[in-house]
């Protein structure tokens, strides 16, 4: 007698196999989709920010941000006219929902250097040789949305007096041969703060996320934050 239907046992076995395959592949698929969006989104925002700085300097007939705008408040007020977004305090949120935090802005007193080599220092006169290694610009490509974690959606940059940005962790990013992503952005279980150097990795490696951020327990942060962690 010809059979035209599956038995209950066959259906259950098939569903079990599908479930196992999904459990094995979905975390990596989630991570792949998430990381594929990071580089292009970050590069687009960096380009937009630098273009806004260039537009601002052309409008003011200057080649030096700090010469024309000596304080952070002056700079942010003027910048807002050249970048589409809203400002709350030191944070500008673009129409695309990307947040830009300006953490430090003080005129560097070393005017013997050209603007593209003159890093905008956090400490101004107290930091004439740029010994401070902190970032001046922090970009969150998800804005207020989670996970808000360095190396996943938050990336740090140094800003220079010609309006350009250098990703933290890139070669000579701080103008003082500071640490780079080669030693600070690795696939090792470590504290998430080390991933602040991963902007350099993304921008210098074809806009690809080639690292896997782990927390102190060695758990992959992309999988955890995107709901792909397995027990």
pLDDT more than 70, % of the chain: 67
In a domain, 173, yes or no: yes
In a domain, 118, yes or no: yes
- Interval 125-141 mean pLDDT: 65
In a domain, 96, yes or no: yes
In a domain, 111, yes or no: yes
Contact present, 151 and 134 (Cβ < 8 Å): no
Alpha carbon distances (Å) from 121 to 49, 166, 211, 220: 18, 13, 29, 34
In a domain, 28, yes or no: no
Contact present, 213 and 155 (Cβ < 8 Å): no
Tally of domains in the chain? 1
The chain-wide mean pLDDT, for the chain, equals: 77
In a domain, 110, yes or no: yes
How far is it, in rounded angstroms, from Cα 105 to Cα 204? 25
In a domain, 84, yes or no: yes
Residue 196 sits in which domain range?
A: 38-225
In a domain, 158, yes or no: yes
Alpha carbon distances (Å) from 157 to 26, 45, 185, 196: 32, 12, 15, 9
How far is it, in rounded angstroms, from Cα 201 to Cα 193? 15
How far is it, in rounded angstroms, from Cα 51 to Cα 191? 34
Determine if the pTM surpasses 0.85: no
- The answer on pLDDT for 141 being more than 70 is yes
- Interval 110-123 mean pLDDT: 75
pLDDT more than 90, % of the chain: 35
- The answer on pLDDT for 2 being more than 60 is no
């Amino acid at each position: 007698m010809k059979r035209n239907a599956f038995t209950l046992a066959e259906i259950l076995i098939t569903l079990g196999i599908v479930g196992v395959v999904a459990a094995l592949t979905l975390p990596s698929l989630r991570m792949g989709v998430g990381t594929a969006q990071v580089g292009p989104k970050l590069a687009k925002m960096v380009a937009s920010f630098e273009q806004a700085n260039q537009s601002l300097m052309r409008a003011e007939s200057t080649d030096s941000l700090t010469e024309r705008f000596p304080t952070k408040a002056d700079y942010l007020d003027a910048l807002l006219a050249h970048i589409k977004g809203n400002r709350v305090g030191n944070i500008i949120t673009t129409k695309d929902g990307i947040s830009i935090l300006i953490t430090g802005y003080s005129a560097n007193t070393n005017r013997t250097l050209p603007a593209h080599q003159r890093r905008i220092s956090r400490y101004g006169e107290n930091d004439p040789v740029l010994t401070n290694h902190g970032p001046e610009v922090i970009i969150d490509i998800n804005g207020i949305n989670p996970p808000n974690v360095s190396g996943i959606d938050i990336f740090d940059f140094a800003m220079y007096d010609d309006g350009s940005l250098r990703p933290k962790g890139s070669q000579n990013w701080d103008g003082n041969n500071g640490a780079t992503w080669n030693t600070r952005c690795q696939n090792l279980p470590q504290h998430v703060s080390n991933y602040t150097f991963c902007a350099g990795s993304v921008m210098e490696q074809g806009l690809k996320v080639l690292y896997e951020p782990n927390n102190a327990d060695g758990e992959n942060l992309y999988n955890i934050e995107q709901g792909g962690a397995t027990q």
